[in-house]
Amino acid sequence: MAVETIGDAFSLGWRVTVRCSYGRAEGPRSQSSRECNYRKELDMETLVWTRGRAFPLSRLESRLRCPRCGSRLVVVLYQPPRHAAAR
């Protein structure tokens, strides 16, 4: 089964973590103190409440913004539950 929406991911018990990549995408010289590595696990159920079950996973990344630095350069990491990943 292909998982394409946040409703699918929620039903399967997936977890979603967002990591800010601000200051990393601009080349090796930007390894400075301005780099933001903030990361946080999001509540999948809240996402479904706010976006609706049919919201595509692929569009989630472009809708998010880092609460610490305000950057939109964020990476979304999806983590299927362990028992499902073993199948």
Interface residues with Zn ion (CB under 5 A) are: 20, 22, 36, 38, 66, 68-69, 71
CB of residue 22 to Zn ion, shortest distance in Å: 4
Which residue has 């913004």 as its token pair? 65
CB of residue 15 to Zn ion, shortest distance in Å: 20
Q: 9 vs 66, which CB is nearer to Zn ion?
A: 66
Q: 4 vs 26, which CB is nearer to Zn ion?
A: 26
User: Rounded CA gap, 30 and 73, in Å?
Assistant: 14
Could you tell me the two tokens for 49?
């409440």
User: Rounded CA gap, 37 and 59, in Å?
Assistant: 21
